Chain A
Amino acid sequence: MDDLIAAIRIKGLRDGLLVSLPEGEWDDQSDALLTQIDGRQAFFQGARLALDVGSQVIRVNEMVELRDRLSERNVSLWAIISASAVTEQTAQLLGLATRVSKPRPEEQQSIDAGPVSQETALYVNRTLRSGTRIEFPGTVVVLGDVNPGAELVVHGSAIVWGRLRGAVHAGAAGDVEAVVCALEIVPMRLQIAGEVLQSSAEGVDTGPGMAAIRKGSIILEAWQPAGTGQT
């Protein structure tokens, strides 16, 4: 079972997440998928899922059941990609897509189920506009703004060389050491690990700042040239 979970591949697409299931019995496959989702709730929250099931033949009731169990977890099943004509027909019957557009190179973020090294960061060289969601199991550096309606969910820290006005969740897997830095921090929502920044209207809204967890709650402070080192 654990092997199955580890073999699930997740990839960012223009329209959602593409999840490829390893070979196996359907019951094991779907359980592995759900376990994976339960284990990384913040990452999958509100996601649109395209499921690549290989040559697996899935019956209507099985597909319906999976769709329901996914929607209980606030994940919407949007497409089933299959090499089996039967499965494809079943998916179409349920109004699911059976083709997904190829990911564009710049938006394609291959995310393996395994942890990413602390030294690795994803570099995003553009403004994240409303409707964009970037998830990454490490640190993300954005050269540009994070606009209202955009979301950044990262297991490490979020560093924005621009204005942070969207939603950000750093340390999404529970890392309380994670920080959020931006040239201007006026977020719609700012979370680090399990903490939520209260009253974001106050605080640093004009200059560069950094948010970090201090004594159990998030503190937002202006960036100072000296003594910025995180403790």
Chain B
Amino acid sequence: MTAEVITLSSGKGGVGKTTAVANIAVALAAEGVKVVCIDGDIGLRNLDVVLGLENRIVYDIVDVIEGRCKLRQAMIRDKHLPELHLIPAAQTRDKTAVSPSDMVRICNELRPDHDFVLIDSPAGIERGFRNAIAPADRVFIVTNPEVSAVRDADRVIGILEAEDKRGPSLIINRLNLTLVKQNDMLSAEDVLDLLGIPLIGIVPEDQSVIVSSNHGTPVAQDPRSRAGQAFRDIAKRIRGEEVPFLGADKQAGLWDRLQKMTGRR
């Protein structure tokens, strides 16, 4: 078993990286594969809250790096899913406490015993972002159908290209089909058209995402949630299954476009 390390990044903050990491991790673990999430946002940790594990933290990633505990000790097991673990960020330190080579070392230590390592990158394109992408085998760019988020995503893709990272994939989060139909929101097609990278998921706008994040039970565990379904689909695609995109039938031309994109790779 050699884990694939996947980093989720966006450039802009607040587009839903942490939510996406939590939900994809939960969806993967629910299928029985071994998943570790690493919160890369040192000093502003919140992946633990979204996963509902904040009161179980004893050690964090900086303790591991500075040798105060073993890697195993900093890995918190999920309440419901025995295959899911979280390595929390330190809340009282900042991103300079971690270096890109520390991240590579930790991921290499995790690789033999797990299937996937998911890293939640902080917003921005500075040190914390560099740390998060250093060990990545694949990078998922999370964006919203908003001009500013797409602009930042474009910037991040440019940086990844310069770093020779394998081509990143795109998650379009919080798409509101009603607004798209009224021409008040960029469509998934508009976003893809500009960024020109393959799509791995479209997550519809869904209020239950915020509610469940506050409760610490990611929406991917809710079989009725449409956003939850979208995250479960992403998990399946990560594992190589072909799953049609949610709402693709409602947007004329999108499906053709997606097939073209896949063909282009």
Q: Is the CB of A147 within 8 A of B154?
A: yes
- The main secondary structure of chain B at its interface with chain A is helix
Q: Is the CB of A130 within 8 A of B158?
A: yes
Residues 1-56 of A contacting B (Cβ, < 8 Å): 14
Separation in Å of the B72 CB from the closest CB of chain A? Answer: 35
Residue interface bits B167-210, CB-to-A below 8 A is 1, else 0: 00000000000000000000000000010100000000000000
When A130-B152, A130-B154 are in contact, do A107 and B196 touch as well, CB less than 8 Å? no
Residues 188-236 of B contacting A (Cβ, < 8 Å): 194, 196
Q: Is A104 an interface residue (CB 8 A)?
A: yes
Closest to A162 in B: B196
When A129-B157, A129-B158, A130-B158 are in contact, do A148 and B151 touch as well, CB less than 8 Å? yes
- Which residues of A lie under 8 Å from residue B157 when comparing CB positions? 129
Residue interface bits A82-105, CB-to-B below 8 A is 1, else 0: 000000000000000000000010
Q: Is A131 an interface residue (CB 8 A)?
A: yes
- The main secondary structure of chain A at its interface with chain B is loop
How far is B194's CA from A128's CA once the two chains are assembled, in angstroms?
11
Residues 137-168 of A contacting B (Cβ, < 8 Å): 145, 147-149, 165
A104's partner among B162, B194, B196 (CB-CB below 8 A) is B162
- Which residues of A lie under 8 Å from residue B161 when comparing CB positions? 126, 129
- Which residues of A lie under 8 Å from residue B162 when comparing CB positions? 14, 104, 107
Separation in Å of the A10 CB from the closest CB of chain B? Answer: 20
Name which of A129, A145, A147, A148 has the most chain B CB atoms within 10 A of its CB: A129
B155's partner among A14, A107, A130, A145 (CB-CB below 8 A) is A130
Q: Is A200 an interface residue (CB 8 A)?
A: no
Residue interface bits B57-86, CB-to-A below 8 A is 1, else 0: 000000000000000000000000000000
Residue interface bits A102-133, CB-to-B below 8 A is 1, else 0: 00100100000000000000000011111110
How far is B11's CA from A131's CA once the two chains are assembled, in angstroms?
12
- Which residues of B lie under 8 Å from residue A128 when comparing CB positions? 158
Q: Is the CB of A145 within 8 A of B151?
A: no
Name which of B154, B157, B196 has the most chain A CB atoms within 10 A of its CB: B154
When A14-B162, A104-B162, A107-B162 are in contact, do A130 and B151 touch as well, CB less than 8 Å? yes
Residues 119-178 of B contacting A (Cβ, < 8 Å): 147, 151-152, 154-155, 157-159, 161-162
Q: Which residues of A contact B (CB under 8 A)?
A: 14, 104, 107, 126-132, 145, 147-149, 165
**Could you list 27 examples of A-B contacts with CB < 8 Å?**
A14-B162, A104-B162, A107-B162, A127-B196, A128-B158, A129-B154, A129-B155, A129-B157, A129-B158, A130-B152, A130-B154, A130-B155, A130-B158, A131-B154, A131-B155, A131-B158, A145-B196, A147-B154, A147-B194, A148-B147, A148-B151, A148-B154, A148-B194, A149-B151, A149-B154, A149-B155, A165-B194
Closest 7 CB pairs of A and B: A129-B158, A130-B154, A131-B155, A130-B155, A129-B154, A130-B151, A149-B151
